[in-house]
């Protein structure tokens, strides 16, 4: 499930099961992609950024999008995040 919050605090629940969430720059290019994946030992959230050259190129090729050239890299690498399945 995805929840989006407006600046005023209103919560918008997205009902359709989503696999990818794209964060865009001011030009509409992708700055980050968050996606959930289930592995043998749990559910995880992965972040793809423009400096992840392999994953960013694969995602760009699959969905015909361009990653931002304006977003400063390298990004700090997040620790693995296990999602709550409750």
Task: Write out pLDDT tens, residues 38-86.
Answer: 778 777 888 899 888 899 999 999 999 999 988 876 666 666 666 666 5
17, 28 Cβ separation under 8 angstroms = no
Q: Where are the alpha helices (DSSP H) in the chain?
A: 53-63
Q: Look-up: residue for tokens 């969430």?
A: 21
Q: How far does CA 35 lie from the centroid of its chain?
A: 5
pLDDT at position 24 is 93
The C-alpha atoms of residue 50 and residue 72 are separated, in whole angstroms, by: 9
Residue 2 belongs to some domain of the structure: no
On whether residue 4 sits in a domain, the answer given is no
Note the pLDDT of residue 8.
Answer: 96
Q: Is residue 1 part of a domain?
A: no
Tell whether 6 is covered by a domain.
no
Residue 10 lies in a domain: no
Q: Is 11 among the domain residues? A: no
Total domain count for the chain?
1
- Give residue 73's pLDDT: 64
pTM, 2 dp? 0.71
The pLDDT score that the predictor gives to residue 17 is 75
- Whether residue 29 lies inside any domain: the answer is yes
Sheet with 42-48, side-by-side order of all strands: 20-24, 30-39, 42-48, 81-82
Is 50 within the bounds of a domain? yes
Segments forming the whole domain that contains residue 58: 19-82
């Amino acid at each position: 499930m995805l929840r989006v919050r407006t600046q005023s605090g209103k919560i918008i629940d997205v009902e359709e099961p989503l696999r990818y969430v794209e964060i865009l720059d001011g030009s509409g290019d992708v700055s980050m992609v968050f996606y959930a994946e289930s592995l043998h030992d749990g559910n995880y959230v992965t972040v793809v950024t423009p400096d992840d050259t392999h994953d960013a190129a694969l995602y760009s090729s699959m969905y015909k999008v361009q990653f931002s050239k304006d977003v400063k890299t390298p990004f700090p690498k997040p620790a693995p995040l296990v999602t709550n399945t409750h």
